[in-house]
Structure formats: C-alpha cells, structure tokens
Amino acid sequence: MDEKDTYKTKRFFILTFSITWICWFAAPYLGDPLNSDATFLVLMLIGLMTPFAIALYLILASKSTRLKKTFFNKLLNIKLIKPRSIPLFLVLFPASIIGAILVSTLFGYSLDQFTIVEEFSFSIGTVPTFLILLLAAGFEELGWRGYAIESLNSKLNYFEATLIFGILWSLWHLPMFFIPHSYQAELLQEDFLLVANFFISIVPLAFIIGWFCKKNSGSILGAVLIHFIINITQEFFQVSPYTKCIQTVILIVIAVAFVLADKKMFFEKPQGQAASL
C-alpha cells in the first residue's frame, strides 16, 4: 500500500480496536455484568457497534460517490445473493460440527453430543443470547465487509487481505475473555487450549465467509447471514469444547479447499481502489 492508503486502513483498525477494547474492558468494571445494568449494556453495545460505526463514518466522510453507492448496494440489494449458494452454507457449518462430533468419538467422546441444547452455553446478564448472536453477526459484518476487507484488498490480493483480516478479527475479540459469563470467559476458565482454538478458528472462518461474499458480489447481507448461521450452529448441539478443536481442523481443510479451487479469485492482483476508500 502507498502511504495514504496505509494510513486510511490503519485508521479504521486503530479506531475500531481502541473504541471496542476501551468499552469492553471497562464494561464489567463500570457496570454490573451479572444484572446487565444500563452502564454495562451501553458499553457492550457501543463496542459491538464500533466496526460498523467507524466504517459508516469513513465511507460517508469520503468524497467518493461511487464508494457510497457501492456500500449501500452491498448492504441493501438482496439480489446480490445467488440462491444456489445458500443451500451450501445452510449445510456446510452444521456438517462441520456433525463431522467433528463423529470424529471425536474416536477419542472417547460420546454421541450424546448430538443432544439439542435446552439453553445457550453462555449469557451476558439478562440479554437474550439469541439477540447477542444476531447483533454480533450484523454489526461485525457491516464493518468488516463494508470497509475493512475492501480497504485491505485495494492494495493486497484477496488471500493476503483475508489472512491479515482474519488475524485482526480474532484479536478484536480479546476483551470478551474478561466479560463474566461470556462464551470466551467460559473457555478461559476451562483450558488455555480452548482459548487458542477460539483465536485460530476465526482465521478459516474469515476465508470461508470471504469466499461466499466474493461469489455473491460482495453482499454484506450475505455475510451477515453466514455469520449468524455460524453463531447458531455453534450453539445448537451439546458439543464438548474440545470437539470444537476438531471442527477447527475441518474448517481449515474447507478453507484451504476453497482457496485451491478458486486460486484466481484469491491471488489475482488487487484492483487498486484504495484511493476511493
């Protein structure tokens, strides 16, 4: 990237990380996470909305009419999503967890993991977990697909942009490990291997969601759909957290397969659109 483009990309990630981390690290200390008081909820919501808020600010503040039109088209145009691609992703993530459960039986884990859960594996105060999963998918992808990936891909090929983004995306979740009763906090209390698996698993997910977006003309709505499917799938069965380590391996295999099957898309030269970002 040239100096100007690098500055714009860094500005997005620095602002996003700074605001999110400040809010999320402060939330359990300034507010009451167990009872979800107003202070806690507001800080958590601001942190969650930050990727979208920063992306929207940078896009609206730009002088590029084309950039603005492109963003809102990707956000609102449902026709960008190709119907034939939906069944694949409705099946892909449930299949990955089912496959992981079956493989886990070779290591002594039970088929009882196929039991459908009666309640979610985590909670944040009194906020409905289903709502948390939906909002997380929406606000994250509005920022990631609305600006972050495009910014990186303007001067890097799609493989490099996705790899860098995947690493940054995983690190963005760091404060969640210190939010009482969050999914990440539960992992931290149990085993550091599970913490490492959480960070690693996000990278192949970045490639898989990225592939879907490219195949659907960059649809942000499509990305939100896939992200939400991933979130719900992870909570559907009573799966051992160690089985999810096996699922990560399966997701890595799937991501590698997508990259190898679509080398042109991932490795073609960037389009050089950074000037409009």
Q: Residue 176 corresponds to which tokens in the numbers above?
A: 């969640």
User: For residue 190, what are the CA distances in angstroms to 54, 183, 200, 270?
Assistant: 34, 11, 17, 42
Do 50 and 23 meet the contact criterion of CB atoms below 8 Å apart?
yes
Active site residues: 140, 173
Candidates 159, 162, 153, 148; CA nearest to 264 is 159
Got the DSSP string for the chain?
Answer: --HHHHHHHHHHHHHHHHHHHHHHHHHHHHS-TTTT-HHHHHHHHHHHHHHHHHHHHHHHHSS-HHHHHHHHHHHH-GGGS-GGGHHHHHHHHHHHHHHHHHHHGGGT--GGGGSBPSS-S--BTTB-HHHHHHHHHHHHHHHIIIIIHHHHHTTS-HHHHHHHHHHHHHHHTGGGGGSTTSHHHHHHHH-HHHHHHHHHHHHHHHHHHHHHHHHTTT-HHHHHHHHHHHHHHHHHB---TTHHHHHHHHHHHHHHHHHHHTHHHHHSPP---GGG-
